[in-house]
Structures are given as structure tokens and as C-alpha cells.
Homo-oligomer: A and B are copies of this chain.
Amino acid sequence: MNFISGGVCAAKGFSANGIHCGIRKNRTKRDLSLIMSDVPATAAAVYTTNLVKGAPLVVTKKHLENNTAQAIICNSGNANTCNANGIEIAEKMCDALSKKIGINPNDIVVASTGVIGQPLDIAPIANGIPSLVDGLSKDGGEFAAEGIMTTDTIKKEVAVEFQIGGKICRMGGIAKGSGMIHPNMATMLVFITTDVNISGEMLQKALSTDITNTFNMLSIDGDTSTNDMVVVLANGLAENEKIVADNDDFKLFMTALNTLTVQLCRMIAGDGEGATKLLECKVSGADSLDTAKTVAKSVVCSSLLKAAMFGADANWGRVLCAIGYSGAKVDVNKVGVCFKSAKGTIEVCRNGAGVDFSEETAKEILLEKEIEILVTLDSGEYSSAAWGCDLTYDYVKINGDYRT
């Protein structure tokens, strides 16, 4: 498994583009993205569990009933959610694209991200589609990644190359993260493309399985978005023998997908709104996978621990506290905690109580950009990881007046 460049255009037969069409006032910010497969692709998706669902999700879900799609269009700057005419606008986006590229609107995935509850004007999108389509290229993955950004400070794209049955396969993805990130059986906006030949059923199985250990173990701020969606398009151009069952090829595919999604999780968490640090909580020794996951997620969700990490303060009592209220059944007298970074590892808690440690060394470790919180439960063989970020002044600043 090798990381390669190219993002969503890394796989055979995919092109992309992103432009500024005018939804945003800032003319230097791309706000409309397109990802296109040369041929119809097998598609799978997962969606937010928030009862308030963005209109584009409703339309996309309908379009993907046949597990087929050829294009993904997504705007930023407006979520097209909680608007009376939301469905109509999402459908108009598909219709306008359909007319320009000559594919069925039913084969288009539509997504929107940005502020909730402000009507989305179709005019700039409709006017922008011709140049959006004309500019499609194999080098456009980066532009597409930029076009879906909201408060993200870095664009998030990743791609991998691997082999299935002797055929070179590629898979790439882009993500939009930053705020309102606390996926629950679904996730933020992630678009993944691959040239692997795989059935719709197995593609959906791969995605639905993968997210339980990746995007669903990620939290920026505890707010589950209304517009979360992960979509995978697999166009089959790698010409491997079609994956139709849970065999070795499927396992290879799952590994590739997981490599990609873990990387995207880390990128999203590290670039959480206002974040200065990526936090990863690794839980081991749990009596069940559920316990491991519940504990890991509770720790990365704690506002108090997140603020302590911002201050590089080894306040491990807050880790214990978050484990204690997680809802998982844990023997707190067996819990151990270490903090780890590129500067080393320090043990701060053993058997549920503090151990003597050097505050100076702890500070040095916690001043790094990527922090691991290692929790041992000493009660079994299960482990899990969750990703998050620190809580900072800038999170408050960004969200104190997001709309203006």
C-alpha cells in the first residue's frame, strides 16, 4: 500500500474541478466542486443520523437507490438545509449539470455545506456549471478539495495505490471537516473515488463497516452535522476480477479503504475548528469492542481535557473523569494513562491513581502537535482509537460569529 498524489483523480477515469461561482462573497475562495467518472460507477454512501437532514442528502439518497452514479457536485458557503425550497434547489443543481454533461440527473450525487437555514440561490451555481465542466481535468482534484472547504484551513486529499489480483488499483478521497463534526453512523463530507471493480452490495458493506472504526470515532465539537455524507464511486476501470463476495480481494479493498479513511480522519481532526493539536485516544485491554470505542470517544470529546491539551497541561484526572462518565462499564481501579508524542511517552496514572511524574517532561511532550492519549483498561483484549482536537480560543472566535 503506497500513498500517491492526485486525490480524487488518482484512480483511472476520474477528473475533477472546483471554481468560485459566487455563493461566497470572497472571490478567491472556490465554492463549487465537481468530480466526474468517465463511465458510470458503482456507488455507496452513508448519511448523517441527524433528524434534520440537508435537502441534498434527501435527493442523493434517492439518486443512489440503484447504486450507480457518475458525478458528484458540491457547493460550499450554504448547507441548503432548513429551507422550504431545499429539495427543489438540490434537484435544480442536478438538472443543470445533467444538461451540460449529458448524463441522467439520477446519476448525480449532490451535496452542500455551509450555513444552515439561508435559502440557496440557484443562479450562481447554474451560471457556474459550464466553466466548472469545461475545466474538468486529471489535475483538478486539488481544486475540488478546495471548493468544498468551509472553515477548514488546509485542503484534505489523500490517495493510495495497491494491487488486487495483479491489477494496479488506486483510491483517492477528499474531505471537508472543521466544525459540527461528531459523526454518528455517518460522517462529514467525504468523497472517495476508486477504479476497483466491485459490486454495489460489497461497496456498501465495505463503507458501512469501515466508518464504524474511522469517521464514527472522530469528534471536533460534539455536534453531529445535518449534512454529513460519505460517498464512494468505484468505476471498475482497474479491470480486476469483480469483487462480489467477502474474499481476499475484498479484504485488500477494505485495507485500502481503511488506510485512506484513517488518514482523512487524522486530517479532519488535526484541522478541527481552531485546533492547534491532533488528539488520538488509543484504548487497549477492554473487555469488549464497545467498551473500547465508548471510552476512546468519551475521552476525545471532553471539553475539559481538550482545553487542558491546548494548554499542554497533563491533567490526567480529566481523562479518568471522561472514562467514568462514558457509560462504559470499566473497573476504574485498573485504569492506566500515558501521554505520548514525538518527544516521548510519560505515564501519569496507574491503577486509577496518579503516579509521580515530571511536569516538565509532560509539558515538553504535550507541546507537540500530535498527542496520543494511551488508556489501558487491563480487563480484556479489545482495543480502539478515536480522533479529536484541542479546544482553543479560535474555536470560540470562529463560531462566535460564523455567519457574518
Contacts and interface: CB of A to CB of B under 8 A. Distances in A.
B320 A82 contact: yes
Query: How many monomers of this protein are in the complex?
Result: 2
Contacts of A318: 116, 223
A343 to B, nearest CB: 19
A352 B82 contact: yes
A174 B117 CA distance: 42
Nearest to A221: B303
A304 B352 contact: no
A395 B226 contact: no
Nearest to A274: B396
A316 interface: yes
A317 B401 contact: no
A349 interface: yes
A391 B392 CA distance: 11
Contacts of A354: 82-83, 117-119
B52 A332 contact: yes
B117 A320 contact: yes
Contacts of A400: 307-308, 310-311, 313
A193 interface: no
Per CB-CB distance, the 5 closest pairs between chain A and chain B, nearest first, are A116-B317, A311-B400, A52-B324, A307-B399, A224-B325
Interface of A: 48-53, 79, 81-84, 115-119, 179-180, 182, 184, 221-226, 301-304, 307-308, 310-311, 313, 315-318, 320-325, 329-330, 332, 349, 351-354, 391-393, 395-404
